[in-house]
Amino acid sequence: MDFELTEEQRALADSVKAFVDERVDPRMPEIERTNEIPQELLKEASELGLFGISIPEEYGGSNLSRFSRVLVHQMLGRSGFGFAGVFAAHGGIGAEALVSIGTPEQKKRYLPKMATGELRGCFALTEPGAGSDAGGITTTAVKKGDRYILNGVKHYISGSTHAGLLTVVARTNPAPRSKEMSVFLVEPKFKGFRIGTIYDTMGCKGHPIAELLFEDCEVPEENRLGPEGKGWLAATKTLMEGRPVVAARCVGACERLLEISTDYAKTRKQFGQAIGEFQGVHFLLADMATRTEAARLLTYRAAVLADEGRVTSQDTSMAKLFASETLAFVADSALQIQGGSGYITDNPVGRFYRDARITRIYEGTSEIQRGIIGRSLLRN
């Protein structure tokens, strides 16, 4: 399998890397303090086309290949998961279902504004009683004339506080454990919708998660995505296709942490020599580099298979599982190499360490990924 970048892909990766390293990274301490991303950075990101990488060209996007999208998110991951999370929630899982199964009218109404970032999207699946057990959702959608009435609570929804369009999964068959669910496009202005608690999280600053309340929320029938009762497949497909994007951000974060750690090991002196000369440190660096490279290759493989139409849930789960577990190891090792200085809040290593923890939880926990991989192996 060939992972050699074309000149166009290399230029794309280089431009996003330069933007992240030169424009975003210097602002991360400010973003950490305020929990807000400066509008000028979002404007620059829009000018680079970062909001439209998964949106078809006819609606103003660039419709990049899966492999090229992974390259973009790999570079975004160099800043951590706050700024990068905006584009994952929006153009990854946020736009995926609309692009995949939306009607021409729905696409024409929403996608042009989503391609520029004027309208940001998010994906609302998780509920207080339905995290890893996504089939346990209790939010209901009852048809009433020319609209659906939604009732329920979603929580821990990434990107929801700034979203202008929410892709919401709700149960249209009230029978317990039924997979007859439907997907709806909900605008924040719809009657009966409001944002509840905005959670203060340990990481991913600038990209808050929130509780969403649907209290007799009225959604026009024309805003149902796909046939009624077929939303479960759309939801699981959205999650599966988003996993290589999570993996890519993990790889980018690992690469940046490895750079920081290598530079530190070269310049920090103890006992009269650079700490990188000690076997314990260069063994750590070797393991960090090796695992990062393995994670990158698994991620690239999943993306290439997706472009070829041959990807399986096992492929995407392997990439997400290994890359997120690798990031946990790399972030911990980077902090260990820096010692006490790594524990200081303003040190970027601490930011990566905090951000890394969520990657083994969202879009399918590590345990869920292992379950998917194991079942796939037993079926073959």
Would you state the pLDDT for residue 83?
95
Tokens 């190891």 appear where?
A: 329
- Report whether pLDDT(118) > 90: yes
Angle at which helix 66-76 crosses helix 279-307, to 10 degrees, equals 150
Q: Say what the pLDDT of residue 376 is.
A: 94
Query: Is the CB of residue 69 less than 8 Å from the CB of residue 51?
Result: no
Q: State which of 102, 119, 136 marks the end of a domain.
A: 119
286 and 374 both lie in a single domain: yes
Contact 339, 261 (CB under 8 A): no
Residue-wise pLDDT for 312-360, tens only, equals: 999 999 999 999 999 999 999 999 999 999 998 889 999 999 999 999 9
Q: Comparing 2-16, 125-139, 311-325, which segment has the lowest mean pLDDT?
A: 125-139
Of 45-59, 120-134, 279-293, the one with minimum mean pLDDT is 120-134
Q: What is the pLDDT of residue 130?
A: 86
- pLDDT at position 242 is 84
101 and 18 assigned to the same domain: yes
Residue 236 — pLDDT band, cuts 50, 70, 90?
Answer: confident
Residue 203: the pLDDT is 94
Q: Are residues 183 and 300 in the same domain?
A: no
Residues 287 and 212 in one domain: no
Cα–Cα distance between 290 and 329 in angstroms, integer? 12
Closest C-alpha among 178, 206, 222 to residue 32:
206
| Residue 1 belongs to some domain of the structure | no
Residue 96 vs residue 124, higher pLDDT: 124
Q: What is the mean pLDDT of the chain?
A: 94
Judge whether 67 lies within some domain. yes
**Residue 130 and residue 258 in one domain:** no
Q: Is residue 192 part of a domain?
A: yes
Tell me: do 315 and 266 sit in the same domain: yes
Residue 178 has pLDDT above 90, yes or no: no
pTM: 0.95
State the Cα angle at 127 between 125 and 131, rounded to 5°.
80
- CA-nearest of 257, 255, 376, 246 to 320 is 246
* pLDDT given for residue 183 in this prediction: 94
Percentage of the residues of the chain whose pLDDT score is greater than 70: 100
Instruction: Please give the residue range of the domain that contains residue 188.
Output: 122-232
367 catalytic? Reply is no
What's the rounded mean pLDDT across residues 242-249? Answer: 94
- Report the share of the chain in percent with pLDDT over 90: 83
As for how many domains the chain has, the answer is: 3
Q: Quick one: 64 and 188 in the same domain? A: no
**Do 255 and 278 reside in the same domain of the chain?**
yes
Return d(Cα 134, Cα 331) in angstroms, integer: 29
> What pairing do the DSSP bridges indicate for beta strands 121-124 and 165-171?
parallel
**Is residue 187 assigned to a domain?**
yes
Tokens of 366: 């590590």
Nearest to 226 by CA among 100, 95, 93, 101: 101
The CATH number that applies at residue 75 is: 1.10.540.10
Residues 108 and 150 grouped into a single domain: no
Catalytic residue chosen out of the listed positions 187, 255, 363, 367: 363
Residues 193 and 205 occupy one common structural domain: yes
